[in-house]
A and B are shown apart, each in its own frame.
Chain A
């Protein structure tokens, strides 16, 4: 962590400029030594506390817009969601009645919630696993030297740059039974035309594949950057010890990348739980509720059924899951750091 500029405390209170230094001071090099000297002896006229109060005031003034903006558009609405989740609140029936834990009790009896949690688990685990493995492989690929490497790296970023809703909507066409790209390839290879979005299992894989196609680029970019941070000497040392190729990857690369891999897994898992667009546009949560995710359920319950109270309870469940993923993941991350 960087220290704040040492010269800061040298500021005087003259004029409207908070740090306009008086010019008759000793010219002091910007170093910690100078800092200490100044704040302890050279400027006894100004109490250190007074100066740092102004600095702190300025600092809070500067962070206020960001903090206020986030408080009003994120933190407050979130707390309000928690509050609404204890009410029967519907703009259609014009109700706002306190019902205690009724909405949460209803959650436990809701078959849609059950189905949604099942798919959330499947989707999160499968997608994160695929993204991490493929992300590592692509990072390794893009780390090699070859012609058109820069172009390949740019192509890798294209799915990342595309709007999720575009990919999700287009995926519906790409998975089309008769005229879709995927079934054309499968049909040429095997003569079959699977009904991707009609069967439970295949619909789940269609959602997962689409998500992996879109989001692996992000992970691969980060893993590539991690690979580039590993000093070459370590590989040379491993080579002397007889570890080459796969073994040096296993014994040098992976352990060093592990904290990064785990932290990205937490991050990726959280965003899988929050996924909305792919399910909204590709499957509508179907067939039935086979590919329903919590964000989509909140949307349906809140903005189609217009049942704000119950939708808020689902949103709190979503938040709780994100929290659990974060906390458990953080535990793994700490263990990985300790092992390093």
Chain B
């Protein structure tokens, strides 16, 4: 009887472990394959069947792409755009979220619903007039022009999440500060900000990742090399030294993919909990 139970439990544990392993393989193997491609010595790329354990690695592709494309400039632009759009969006969203969560004003719900609805407006349904506006206003191919659009995309969800974080924080501390005569900005800075710092940090991480990964906006609005971003280097790297339309350099593409992915992986692996909290608080509260 007892051994039978143990056997049953043993089978169950084994099955479960197998499922976890299968899950890990499905996620990690494609990523590992891109890693292999990026570091494969030239000539070792096209082998049938594939070799999953390489005998040697090469960094030649990275030297190639840095030599042929302004990769450093692209990465700098991505960093600048992701960072500053995040800071700007957080600042104005915090002001709005404070008003919505604390000031109980007529129209607060309208603002919330309006933001949500506007985030459902497809980017492709706004891009043509924006393109025309940007040409008239000379905002094409400028970092500040891109910043406006990057930031705009972050506002609805950031405001929503900050409202939900604010609503979880008791108001008593703020009330006490108000009794002490604190005026608005000191109150926000010294009292409100410290209590919702986790929310701010979470949204900073998520927004940075979203900004870093942006592709459609720069595809349309950033055409000069000075303002291009790293996600645009994927297709450019594929055709370095290409002899024909069908001569695609998968190795170079993979090298750019690795460069684009490393920063977001580091953030995700370190701050997994915070990111999950950010994702879920946008949905639940």
- Chain A residue with the shortest CB-CB distance to B111: A63
Q: Contacting chain B: which of A112-120, A200-208, A249-257, A293-301?
A: A293-301
Contact across chains for B98 and A73 when beta carbons are under 8 A apart: no
Give A74 to B124 CA distance when docked, in angstroms.
Answer: 11
Inside 8 A of A77's CB, which chain B residues have their CB? 126-130, 133
Interchain CB contact (< 8 A) of B250 among A173, A222, A294: A173
Contact residues of B between 115 and 129, Cβ < 8 Å to A: 115, 118, 120-129
Asked whether A152 and B126 contact (CB < 8 A) given A144-B16, A158-B265, A218-B279, the answer is no
Interchain CB contact (< 8 A) of A274 among B92, B124, B176: B124
Inside 8 A of A130's CB, which chain B residues have their CB? none
- Chain A residue with the shortest CB-CB distance to B107: A60
Contact across chains for A178 and B46 when beta carbons are under 8 A apart: yes
Inside 8 A of B96's CB, which chain A residues have their CB? 62-63, 65-67
Contact across chains for A155 and B34 when beta carbons are under 8 A apart: no
- Chain B residue with the shortest CB-CB distance to A169: B234
Interchain CB contact (< 8 A) of B272 among A4, A150, A312: A150
Contact across chains for A146 and B125 when beta carbons are under 8 A apart: no
Inside 8 A of A303's CB, which chain B residues have their CB? 131, 220
Q: Tell me the interface secondary structure of chain A in the complex.
A: helix
Contact residues of B between 163 and 219, Cβ < 8 Å to A: 167, 171-172, 174-176, 178-179, 181-184, 209, 212-213, 215-216
Task: Answer yes or no: A5 CB below 8 A from chain B CBs.
Answer: yes
Minimum CB–CB distance from A106 to chain B (whole Å) comes to 16
Task: Answer yes or no: B83 CB below 8 A from chain A CBs.
Answer: no
Contact across chains for A69 and B152 when beta carbons are under 8 A apart: yes
Contact across chains for B104 and A21 when beta carbons are under 8 A apart: no
Give A276 to B216 CA distance when docked, in angstroms.
Answer: 8
Contact across chains for A21 and B49 when beta carbons are under 8 A apart: no
Asked whether A302 and B95 contact (CB < 8 A) given A55-B103, A59-B103, the answer is no
Minimum CB–CB distance from B82 to chain A (whole Å) comes to 11
Minimum CB–CB distance from B145 to chain A (whole Å) comes to 11
Q: Tell me the interface secondary structure of chain B in the complex.
A: helix
Give A312 to B130 CA distance when docked, in angstroms.
Answer: 12
Please count the residue pairs between chain A and chain B whose beta carbons lie under 8 angstroms apart in the complex.
283
Contact across chains for A65 and B92 when beta carbons are under 8 A apart: yes
Contact across chains for A295 and B122 when beta carbons are under 8 A apart: yes
Contact across chains for B50 and A184 when beta carbons are under 8 A apart: yes
Interchain CB contact (< 8 A) of A179 among B48, B99, B184, B268: B48
Asked whether A277 and B122 contact (CB < 8 A) given A23-B181, A166-B231, A222-B283, the answer is no
- Flag B7-41 by CB within 8 Å of A: 1 or 0 each: 00000000011011001101111110110010000
Task: Answer yes or no: A265 CB below 8 A from chain B CBs.
Answer: no
Give A144 to B16 CA distance when docked, in angstroms.
Answer: 9
Q: How many residues of B contact A (CB 8 A)?
A: 101
Task: Answer yes or no: A49 CB below 8 A from chain B CBs.
Answer: no
Most chain-B CB neighbours within 10 Å: which of A155, A165, A229, A274? A165
Task: Answer yes or no: B93 CB below 8 A from chain A CBs.
Answer: yes
Which residues of B does A touch, CB under 8 Å? 16-17, 19-20, 23-24, 26-31, 33-34, 37, 45-50, 92-93, 95-96, 98-108, 111, 114-115, 118, 120-133, 148-149, 151-152, 155-156, 159, 167, 171-172, 174-176, 178-179, 181-184, 209, 212-213, 215-216, 220, 231, 234-235, 238, 250, 253-254, 257, 260-261, 264-265, 267-269, 272, 275-276, 279-280, 283-284
Jot down 17 A-B pairs with beta carbons below 8 A, ordered by A.
A4-B104, A70-B114, A73-B126, A74-B121, A77-B127, A81-B129, A141-B19, A157-B268, A161-B264, A163-B212, A174-B30, A174-B33, A187-B49, A225-B276, A229-B284, A274-B124, A277-B215
Which 7 pairs, one residue from A and one from B, show the smallest C-beta to C-beta distance? Answer: A4-B104, A17-B183, A163-B213, A80-B129, A59-B105, A77-B126, A62-B99
